């Protein structure tokens, strides 16, 4: 009985922490901070290059960009359009998934 209660409490705490993590990552995601920083803008340009049919393995924007992240952002940009949310949502989603992935380790 006590183990069952402990497992139920663990799951409840896990869900609450995951919801809290999601809230802090998604709250005003498109508007805070206002505008785009240099890296976000560079990744957005690289994603637009991909969507325009100009795939590359290296972008010279901002001293160089490796290819994985612009391709991830290109998928998000294709879904949401060229808006700040499309640039920031993949990182927020990976952050939320990371919080969920840590729970089995505890």
pTM: 0.83
pLDDT in tens, 13-45: 889 999 999 999 999 988 888 888 888 899 999
Question: pLDDT tens digits, residue range 46-56?
Answer: 999 999 999 88
Would you say 54 and 28 are in contact if contact means Cβ atoms under 8 Å apart? no
Q: Rounded distance, CA 4 to CA 72, Å? A: 40
Quote the crossing angle between the two packed helices 2-26 and 84-102, to the nearest 10°. Answer: 160
How does DSSP classify residue 53? T
What distances in angstroms separate CA 40 from CA 6, 36, 45, 46, 86, one per listed residue? Answer: 43, 6, 9, 10, 10
């Amino acid at each position: 009985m006590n183990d069952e209660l402990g497992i139920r409490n663990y799951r409840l705490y896990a869900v609450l922490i995951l919801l809290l993590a999601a809230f802090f990552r998604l709250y005003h995601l498109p508007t805070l901070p206002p505008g785009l920083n240099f890296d976000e803008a560079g990744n957005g340009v690289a994603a637009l290059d991909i969507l325009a049919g100009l795939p590359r393995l290296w972008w010279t924007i901002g001293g160089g960009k490796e290819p994985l992240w612009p391709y991830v952002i290109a998928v998000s940009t294709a879904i949401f359009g060229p808006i700040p949310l499309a640039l920031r949502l993949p990182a927020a989603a990976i952050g939320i998934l990371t919080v969920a992935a840590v729970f089995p380790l505890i």
